[in-house]
Structure 1
Amino acid sequence: MDRLNSANASLWIGIQVRNIESLSHLLYRTRVKINYFFNLLNFLFAISNISCIKNKNIFHLSQKAFSRSILEKRVWKSFWGFLMAAKTFSKVKSKTHSKAKTKAVSVKKAKPKVAFALSKGFIDFKNPLPVVYQPDSEEQKGKQNLIQWIKSNKRALTDDLKEYGAVLFRGFDVSSPQDFEDVIINVDSNLKNNYLGTSPRNQVTQYAFTATELPPAYPIMQHAEMSFLDSPPKKLFFYCKKAPETFGETPITDLRKVLNEVPDFIREKFEKKKVRYSRVYDGPSNRSRFQFWRTKRWDEMFQTKDREKVEEISKKQNFKVEWFGKDSLRLINTTLAIRKHPEFKSLAWHNHSQVFHIDAARKEYWRIFARQKTIRSFLVGITLEILTFIKKITTKKEYLDTHCTYGDGQEISGPELKRIQDAFWNNISLFSWREGDVLIIDNYSVSHGRHPFTGPREIFVAWAD
């Protein structure tokens, strides 16, 4: 484009002005064409002879057309920012036009200070979750370029998380858990490494953990991370180092939509009564208890074998502590079932009822079987049915590995659980992992889980308060 003469550039821009006007009136009503808009801006900015943009019409492109939604207001704001940058660039170029060629080259070297744009889109336009950012060229794929883009676009990321709830960076050179940590610490510097959840995890860097060490055949029902705490993490981050051979998706769902879809009579009960959780953990000297899946021991979760320290940490988290048996621990606490976002003030379904309920795993698995249709998933479904039945007749509910009720102790019925799971599956977003993927989730707005898989799968997780 550097070789375009002024006349050709003026003609081309004149055509694009009309295209933009047409798009602004006809196509920006849908999100599908937003990528076209941003690509057009990138193309325009690449024109070295941009000083020929003198037509005032381009500075007054139907602003009203961009006021139909919050998204379009942001598009207009981005467009206006581009125009101002173009105008400034034109003045700089006109002043330096008569200078020596070597000096002109030095001006070009200063251009990397201008933040580059990434391609923005969706995996499924019918369900815009997550928002996907990808590099437009090989030069943009580097980890440092991604970090620089994040630093320059904090407001855009916040807006995306507010509107959609999840952002996926795909196609960048993020090749290790440490690279992952280097990237996400620029999204939120308040990363944490204290994990009071139930899933077995291994810490691999200061803040990155393996997502879970549960067997590949076992499902992890969708949930907001540590929603059984009074103060759950605000953001959750996932990184794919190695994608599985088949399946193994991390399903995500907008919890605000779940809240709207849960029947009113169930929502009102949860809102009024809250949720009561009971979790049972083996101790450091008790490793013989048979389990279909292995959960953490309490010394692994609290990072200490000192019972007094365990009780001290539990008190801060409002956990009631009960020691029983040889070396076992039971934690009981009651929390909100519906939460208001600490920053955006939106309401969302935010509890572990669809995870800790005794029937949650077996009911979830038949939905997964209907999608995967494999012999293994059928056999695992049968196994879960048998194990759930055995648990019900051999173990008191309060001493199940995990259990939940309404806050007043009333059991959450099977039909109620089904309606809750329906709300999740009706709004589910599934996509296959690709190596190098970095997924950012607003933990107060979007849930996550794990579907069974085959082959090696290396997914890492981190979180921030």
Structure 2
Amino acid sequence: MTAETPLLPLLVEPDGVPATEQLRADREKVRAALRERGAVLLRGFDVEGPDGFADIVRALSGEPLPYTERSSPRSVIKGNVYTSTDYPPGEEIFLHNENSYQASWPLTLFFHCVRPPLTGGATPLADTRRVLDSIDEEVRREFTRRGWMVVRNYGDLVGLPWQEAFNSTDPAEVERYCHEQGIEAQWLPGGGLRTRAVRDAVHRHPVTGEPVWFNHATVFHVSTLPESARLGLLEMLGEENLPSQTYYGDGGAVPADVMDHLRACYRAASTRFDYRADDVLVIDNMLVSHGREPFTGPRRIAVAMAEPYTAHR
């Protein structure tokens, strides 16, 4: 392993053996670095496609997980290896933690750069411990006291159909899943679905015990969208029918200045690097949030998730 660098992620380069062999030998060192630093970049390895990428996941974290209760469009590459979010290249995806709106989530994420973009396209990272420390005490206290609620609408016009989001065409199965996960499900006229879930905004990491700002409150709030998209969605749908919207846990609106403050805290804590072909970025999903820069060129990033964790209720 190379010497530590001052910014995320920690760089790990080949020692002259295949990636999986080196990672199995250095597994505990790499995992310790991941839990301390929050992100590790494997650079210079021959990944050998989706099968080799899945083997790297197994070497560090066990079997890759399926993508459930989806919030963004993705395509299966092979098995439980997926494309990164299939959004237009000119759009930013704001910093967030994978599946933090769920009752269960992966502790570890893997990103494989199959083909780097021509410009932009980084996966910016922000340490959620730093984000939490920078949030105004009153704002943090309000979210801790009230929690945060996400309201999601599933339909054919905007957002994901519920059949795709929940990997099922059976309403009863979706209702069972929602009940088990602490989600209120409401069927709408015309076959649409609206869900509400109240989650904690601050969690403790199950390995390190550190408090982290772990939620989708900012990325799910309509004000985080570009102005043209925000105004268009509100005019077309109204707030109650948005694909997703954030509230305090009791249903109260989050003030605009609070959302501005949260976005500023994420951006102040963020760092970036440019992808190279065959880079594998590994992040601790609770210690580090991630996003996506706009880009040009044929960027292709494969994604896998591992190590499921369920919040205590």
TM-score bucket (shorter structure): over 0.9
TM-superposed CA distance for 1:316, in Å, is 1.5
Determine whether 1:440 maps to 2:282.
Answer: yes
1:194 and 1:431 map into 2 onto residues whose CA distance is: 26
Residues 450 and 241 (structure 1), Cα distance of their counterparts in 2 relative to 1, 3 Å cut: same
TM-score, scaled to structure 1:
0.64
Q: Which residue of 1 aligns with 2:2?
A: 119
TM-score (structure 2 length as normaliser): 0.94
- CA distance in structure 1 between the aligned counterparts of 2:44 and 2:4, rounded to whole angstroms: 13
Residue matched to 1:277: 150
Does 1:303 find its partner at 2:176? no
**Does structure 2 conserve the Cα–Cα contact (< 8 Å) formed by 1:169 and 1:439?**
yes
- Aligned-residue CA RMSD in angstroms? 1.5
Q: How far is 1:219 from its partner?
A: 1.4
CA contact (8 A) 2:14 2:22 kept: no
For 2:41 and 2:183, locate their aligned partners in 1 and report how far apart those are by CA, in whole Å. 35
- Is the CA contact (8 Å cut-off) linking 1:203 and 1:209 kept in structure 2? yes
Instruction: Give yes or no for the alignment of 1:386 onto 2:265.
Output: no
**Paired residues, number:** 307
With over 3 angstroms needed to count, the CA separation of the structure-2 counterparts of 1:306 and 1:420, relative to structure 1, is: same
Aligned to 2:9: 130
- Residue 302 of structure 2 aligns with an amino acid whose one-letter code is F
Q: Is the 8 A contact 2:70 2:166 kept in 1?
A: no
Which amino acid is the alignment partner of residue 191 of structure 1? Answer: P
> Which residue of 2 is the match for residue 97 of structure 1?
none
Q: C-alpha separation between the residues in 2 aligned to 1:307 and 1:178?
A: 34
Matches within 5 A, 1:258-407: 258-282=131-155, 287=156, 289=157, 291=158, 295-362=159-226, 385-407=227-249
Contact 2:67 2:80 in 1 (8 A): no
Q: Is 1:177 aligned to 2:50, yes or no?
A: yes
Are 2:304 and 1:462 equivalent residues in the alignment? yes
Asked if the contact 1:222–1:355 (Cα under 8 Å) also holds between the matched residues in 2, the reply is yes
Partner of 2:311: none
Runs of at least 5 residues in structure 1 that lack an aligned partner in the other structure? 1-117, 363-384
Q: Please tell me whether the aligned partners of residues 198 and 249 of structure 2 are also in contact (alpha carbons under 8 angstroms).
A: yes
- Structure number with the higher strand fraction is 2
For the Cα contact (< 8 Å) 2:108–2:284, is it kept in 1? yes
Q: Secondary structure at the match of 1:392?
A: helix
Matched, 1:221 2:75: no
d(CA) in 2 for partners of 1:264, 1:401:
30
Find the aligned partners of 2:146 and 2:53 in 1 and give their Cα distance: 40
Q: Which of residues 242, 254, 258 in structure 2 aligns to 1:412?
A: 254
Cα distance in 2 for partners of 1:229, 1:177 equals 27
Q: Which amino acid letter does the alignment assign opposite residue 202 of structure 1?
A: S
Q: Distance in 1 between matches of 2:282 and 2:232?
A: 39
Q: Is the CA contact 1:175–1:241 (under 8 Å) kept in the aligned structure 2?
A: no
**What do residues 245-289 of structure 1 show as CA deviations (whole Å, max 9, x unaligned)?**
11011111100000000110100001111110011111xxxx4x2
Query: 2:231 is matched by which residue type in structure 1?
Result: F
Greater Rg by CA: 1
Which secondary structure state, in structure 2, belongs to the residue aligned with residue 447 of structure 1?
A: strand
Q: Percent identity?
A: 32
- Correspondences of 1:84-123 after superposition (within 5 Å): 118-122=1-5
Gaps of 5+ in 2: 309-313
Q: Which of the pair is proportionally richer in helix? A: 1
Name the residue aligned to 1:24. none
